[in-house]
Amino acid sequence: MGQLERTMKTFGPTQENLIARAGKQLPGGIRNGGKRVKEQAEELRLSYRKAQEANRAKTDLINPLSHELPIPIHVIVGCGELLLDGAWGMLQENQKAIVVKMMQNACYLFDLIADLLELNRLDGGKARACFDKIDAHRFLGEVEAMARFMPKAEGVALHLKKPAGLPPLFSDWDRLKMILRKLVGNAIKFTKSGEITISAHFDPEEQMMEFTVRDTGFGIDKKDQQRIFDMFWQGNNSHARPFTGVGLGLYIVKRLAGQIGAKVEVESEGGKGALFRLKIPLRPD
């Protein structure tokens, strides 16, 4: 039995007819058709192997950069804070504005690099969740402190609602914090006036913790709400174009949420702000 006949037998009658028909269309009929199928299979194997090798080379290159790239950015931001604090003398208002602009761009660059490095870790299969006990109140305190240092439009108020009696949960602190950072950063990006509210709620019946980030920004059209978590997707409406970014933040949010057994949802209407909700079980399955 030839290679093509064995393939036909394995695939079954429907695929057999298709392969036979394809073989007859080639010079020499089934015999040469079978040879061509074998050659194509080998070409596909070689292409797949080369793609794997290229992906490994990319990962090996980017992993060391994850330690090196953030360092100069931290130095820039640190020096900016010292300048604003008057460590080398008091600055004039126009000088302060320049330093603030420098720090904002450094923070944007840091977030962009962090997104690319996190995407590389996720695609490399090296990002493993580490579950531990998390004090919800302490966690929210860190999220608030982090959010207050993120650059936002002048006049935008930041609020934290932290109800008493939140129970501890078992999750990955770093991934959970990155998710909230991305959601808060997204809210800041699209809110030019009004307020951003971070809150938490515990559902005793479902044994679920719910973190929410609500903004009064431009909102998201209904037709776009299923696409905002796609890689590299950015809104095409008039609100989205002036904003920077490559469309990785919410994609990473969804990937990280899946790793810790959480679910992220969005409620919004165009022009009426947005509410992002992260639901996470107190204990992983």
pLDDT higher than threshold 50 for residue 99: yes
pLDDT at 83: 93
| pTM attached to this predicted model | 0.66
The predicted structure's pLDDT at residue 166: 94
- Confidence tier at 214 by pLDDT (50, 70, 90): very high
Residues forming CATH 3.30.565.10 domain(s) in the chain: 132-281
pLDDT computed for residue 5 by the predictor: 47
Q: For residue 281, name the pLDDT band (cuts at 50, 70, 90).
A: very high
Q: What pLDDT, on a 0 to 100 scale, did the predictor assign at position 221?
A: 84
pLDDT attached to residue 269: 81
* DSSP structure class, residue 91: P
Q: Determine if residue 223 is left, alpha or beta; phi over 0 gives left, psi from -120 to 50 gives alpha, anything else beta.
A: alpha
Tell me the average pLDDT of the chain: 79
Q: Look at residue 87 and tell me whether its pLDDT is greater than 60.
A: yes
Can you tell me the mean pLDDT for 41-57?
Answer: 76
Mean pLDDT across the stretch 131-135? Answer: 94
Confidence check: pLDDT of 260 > 90? yes
Q: What is the mean pLDDT of residues 156-164?
A: 89
Rounded to whole angstroms, how far apart are CA atoms 283 and 169? 6
What is d(CA 267, CA 144) in angstroms, rounded to the nearest whole number? 22
Of residues 33 and 55, the one with the higher pLDDT is 55
Among 3.30.43.10, 3.40.50.970, 3.30.565.10, 3.30.540.10, what is the CATH number of 132-281? 3.30.565.10
Instruction: State residue 3's pLDDT score.
Output: 45
More confident: 3 or 90: 90
Average pLDDT over residues 165-170: 94
Q: 17 versus 96: which is more confidently predicted?
A: 96
For the ranges 21-35, 58-72, 156-170, the lowest mean pLDDT is seen at: 21-35
Specify the 3-state DSSP secondary structure of 264.
strand
Statement: residue 256 has pLDDT above 50: yes
Query: What distance in Å separates the CA atoms of residue 218 and residue 185, rounded to the nearest whole number?
Result: 14
pLDDT at 182 over 80: yes
Q: Is the pLDDT of residue 231 over 70?
A: yes
Q: pLDDT tens across 60-78, in order?
A: 666 666 667 778 888 888 8
Average pLDDT (101-120) is 80
CB 221 within 8 A of CB 228: no
More confident residue, 73 or 244: 73
